[in-house]
A and B are shown apart, each in its own frame.
Chain A
Amino acid sequence: MSESGEAARRVVFTRHGVARGARDSLPLWIGMMPFGLVIGVLADAKGLSFAETVLMSAIVYAGAAQLVALELWSDPVPIGAVVIATLVVNSRMAPMGAALAGWLDRLRGIRLWGTLWTMVDHSFALSIQEQRRGGRDAGYLLGIGAALWVAWVLTTAAGYLASSAVRLPAGHPLYFASVAAFLSILVGLWRGVRVDLLPWLLAGVVALAAHRAGLPVPLPLLAGTFAGATLGAWREMRGRKGSR
């Protein structure tokens, strides 16, 4: 292979990139642990079997969605509600792949569709940073996603087993870990007062009002999300028109 400028810029997919992604994911394991434990504990509290809990973590592999779905869980399972809630919560992933198109467009077959299968908030965020640094090894994305998958399945399994051994009472501080995880994600998403303050406030207020009005889950979540995102988009478009 010639070492032309073209080749130097070409996106690659190597074992080395996968390994580096896996290594960079290690600090995130600690952050994932309380979240995974909470999912396991909650799954046990909702009457799921161990096999069902592990299966869900292994093939859904989306913490926020699993959390919301499990909160809706009852016996018999409201299948429509949990699937719709999952779809709503995970719709945030739809633009992620598009943002990583610089790498993904060069992949084919199982490398493309398999890597997408492992994509989560953290692997997305770290890969965007890697791309901006000039990284061109798309294996990095898979490495983080696959390593975090292992951590995810292990911690939810551990949470389930721990919960069966020690029953946590409602309102136990450990349950705060899920809210804490979302709050720390929010800190990372914050782009400043001018962009985010009003949409975020509206999202919170609408969700709260819908919740107080007694609307069933996930309607308060949906209403708040939609209201906030619409306001944010509307202000962005208006700002663009004004600057023209």
Chain B
Amino acid sequence: MTVRPEVLVAILGMALVTYACRAGGYALLRSFRPPEFVEAMLRHLPGALFMAYVTPPLVAGALPAWIGAATVVGVQVVTRNMGLSIPAGVAAVWGAQAWLW
């Protein structure tokens, strides 16, 4: 049950900037209206962020990763339930790996 000092600093730093985003964003945007372009960027940020996150590993991944990705998207579109789409995707990767190798 050890907490190293430098790890503690890193975790506290992460917690601090996270709260700054949660609360500071509300506090700032409540008092100052940001430029329209910034507001528009914020609306587009989530999709761009997650696309930037998933693209490199998917492109680097082999066929099983693509089968898994198609499964996740398909199940999510139909059921709108992450509790189904995530396990379905993992199971598809598992099955595809077992089948292909």
A-to-B contact residues, CB < 8 Å: 27-35, 48-52, 55-56, 59-62, 64-66, 68-69, 76-77, 79, 82-83, 86-87, 89-98, 100-101, 104-105, 113, 116-117, 119, 173-174, 176-177, 179-190, 196, 199-208, 211, 220-221, 223-234, 236-237
Taking a contact as CB atoms closer than 8 A, the residue among B23, B25, B64, B82 that contacts A117 in the complex is: B23
A31 and B86 contact, Cβ closer than 8 Å, known pairs A98-B29, A180-B72, A187-B73: yes
B-to-A contact residues, CB < 8 Å: 1-4, 6-15, 17-30, 36-59, 64-65, 68-69, 72-73, 76-77, 80-83, 85-87, 89-91, 93-94, 97
Kindly list chain A residues whose C-beta atoms are within 8 Å of the C-beta of B57: 179
What are 17 A-B residue pairs whose CB atoms fall within 8 Å in the complex? A34-B87, A49-B1, A65-B14, A91-B25, A98-B29, A113-B23, A116-B22, A173-B93, A177-B90, A179-B68, A181-B82, A182-B53, A186-B47, A186-B73, A190-B47, A208-B56, A224-B48
Whether B18 contacts A224 by the Cβ 8 Å rule is: no
Whether A233 contacts B11 by the Cβ 8 Å rule is: no
A98 and B25 contact, Cβ closer than 8 Å, known pairs A83-B13, A176-B89: yes
Whether A177 contacts B89 by the Cβ 8 Å rule is: yes
Give the distance to chain A from B49, nearest Cβ to Cβ, in Å.
5
Q: Which 5 A-B pairs have the closest CB atoms?
A: A94-B25, A97-B26, A228-B48, A224-B52, A31-B82
Give the distance to chain A from B31, nearest Cβ to Cβ, in Å.
11
The closest CB in chain B to the CB of A118 belongs to: B22
Whether A177 contacts B86 by the Cβ 8 Å rule is: yes
Taking a contact as CB atoms closer than 8 A, the residue among B8, B13, B58, B81 that contacts A31 in the complex is: B81
Whether A233 contacts B44 by the Cβ 8 Å rule is: yes
Whether B51 contacts A77 by the Cβ 8 Å rule is: no
Whether B23 contacts A97 by the Cβ 8 Å rule is: yes
Taken together as a complex, chains A and B put the C-alpha atoms of A200 and B52 apart, in Å, by 8
Whether A183 contacts B54 by the Cβ 8 Å rule is: yes
Taking a contact as CB atoms closer than 8 A, the residue among B7, B51, B90 that contacts A228 in the complex is: B51
Whether A61 contacts B18 by the Cβ 8 Å rule is: yes
A94 and B86 contact, Cβ closer than 8 Å, known pairs A51-B1, A56-B14, A82-B10: no
Taking a contact as CB atoms closer than 8 A, the residue among B15, B49, B68 that contacts A176 in the complex is: B68
A119 and B22 contact, Cβ closer than 8 Å, known pairs A35-B86, A79-B9, A182-B54: yes
Taken together as a complex, chains A and B put the C-alpha atoms of A232 and B54 apart, in Å, by 19
Besides A105-B30, A225-B49, 18 more A-B contacts (Cβ < 8 Å) are: A31-B85, A49-B7, A51-B2, A55-B3, A60-B14, A65-B14, A83-B17, A86-B13, A94-B42, A96-B26, A97-B25, A179-B68, A180-B90, A187-B85, A200-B47, A226-B48, A229-B42, A236-B40
